[in-house]
Amino acid sequence: MIDPYVILDLLLGLAVVALAAAVLTVRDLFAAIVLFIVFGLLSALAWVRLAAPDVALAEAAIGTGLTGALLLKTLHHLRYVTGSLDRQAALSVTPVQPVPMAVIWVNAAFCGLVTLGLAAAFLGAPRNGPGFDALVAEAMPASGVEHPVTAVLLNFRAYDTLMEVVVLLAAVIAVWQIERGLSEAPAPALGEVWAGFARLVLPAIVVIGTYLLWVGAEAPGGAFQGGAVLAAVGLLLLLSRLYVPRPAHRGVARLGFVLGTGAFAAVALLVAGGGRVAFEYPLEHAKTLILLIEGVVTISIAITLAALFHGREPVALSASETRHDA
Partner 1 sequence: MQSDPMTLTLFAPLFGAILAFLFPRAARALGLVAVLVTGGAVVWLARAVLAEGAVTLALGGWAPPLGISLRADGLSVAMLAMTAAVGLLVSLGALDALRDARQTRYFWPLWLLLLTGMNGVYLSTDIFNLYVMIEVIALAAVGLTVLSGTRAALRAGLEYMYASILGALLFLMGVGFVYLQLGRLDFAGLITAEPSGALSAALALMVVGLALKTALFPLHFWLPAAHANATAPASALLSGLVVKAALYIFLRLTTYMPLPDEVLVTLIGTLGAGAVIWGGIQALRAERLKLLVAWSTVVQIGLIFIAFARAGQVGLTESWKAAALLILAHGVAKAAMFLAAGRIKDEVGHDTIRELDKSAIRPTLAQFTFALAAISLIGLPPSLGFIGKWSLMEGAMAAGYWHWVGVTMIGTLLSVAYFSRVLAGFLRFDRVRAPLGEHQGWALADVAPLTLAVSAIGLGLLAAPILSFIELGYPFGAMP
| Residue 278 sits in the site that holds partner 1 (CB under 8 A) | yes
- Comparing CB distances to partner 1, the nearer of 170 and 244 is 170
| Residue 277 sits in the site that holds partner 1 (CB under 8 A) | yes
Segment near partner 1 (CB under 8 A), from 21-29, 174-182, 195-203, 225-233? 174-182
- Of the candidate residues 81, 104, 135, 244, the single one contacting partner 1 (CB under 8 A): 135
| Residue 132 sits in the site that holds partner 1 (CB under 8 A) | yes
| Residue 71 sits in the site that holds partner 1 (CB under 8 A) | no
* Long-range contacts of residues 276-284, Cβ cutoff 8 Å, at least 24 apart: 279/155, 279/158, 279/159, 281/144, 281/155, 283/142, 283/144
| Residue 155 sits in the site that holds partner 1 (CB under 8 A) | yes
| Residue 272 sits in the site that holds partner 1 (CB under 8 A) | yes
User: For residues 12 and 69, what is the distance between their CA atoms, to the nearest angstrom?
Assistant: 24
- Comparing CB distances to partner 1, the nearer of 8 and 142 is 142
Q: What share of the chain is helix, strand, coil (3-state, %, to 5)?
A: 70, 0, 25
| Residue 255 sits in the site that holds partner 1 (CB under 8 A) | yes
| Residue 296 sits in the site that holds partner 1 (CB under 8 A) | no
Residue 38 exposed, middle or buried by CB count within 10 Å (0-12, 13-18, 19+) = middle
| Residue 275 sits in the site that holds partner 1 (CB under 8 A) | yes
Q: How far apart are the first and last CA of the chain?
A: 68
3 dihedral zone (left: phi>0; alpha: psi -120 to 50; beta): beta
Contacts with partner 1, 26-65, as mask; x by CB under 8 A = ----------------------------------------
Segment near partner 1 (CB under 8 A), from 18-26, 94-102, 230-238, 276-284? 276-284
Cα atoms in the Cβ-side hemisphere of radius 13 Å centred on 50: 13
Segment near partner 1 (CB under 8 A), from 28-36, 50-58, 230-238, 259-267? 259-267
- Comparing CB distances to partner 1, the nearer of 212 and 259 is 259
Nearest approach, Cβ of residue 11 and partner 1 (Å): 25
User: For residues 166 and 265, what is the distance between their CA atoms, to the nearest angstrom?
Assistant: 10
User: For residues 142 and 285, what is the distance between their CA atoms, to the nearest angstrom?
Assistant: 11
| Residue 72 sits in the site that holds partner 1 (CB under 8 A) | no
Cα atoms in the Cβ-side hemisphere of radius 13 Å centred on 294: 27
- List the interface residues with partner 1, window 187-246 (CB under 8 A): none
Helix (H) or strand (E) holding 298: helix 283-310
User: For residues 204 and 60, what is the distance between their CA atoms, to the nearest angstrom?
Assistant: 17
What is the total count of residues that contact partner 1 (CB under 8 A)?
A: 53
User: For residues 4 and 130, what is the distance between their CA atoms, to the nearest angstrom?
Assistant: 29
Positions touching partner 1 (CB under 8 A) are 117-118, 120-122, 124-126, 129-132, 135-136, 139, 155-160, 163-164, 166-167, 169-171, 173-174, 176-179, 254-255, 257-258, 261-262, 265, 269-270, 272-281
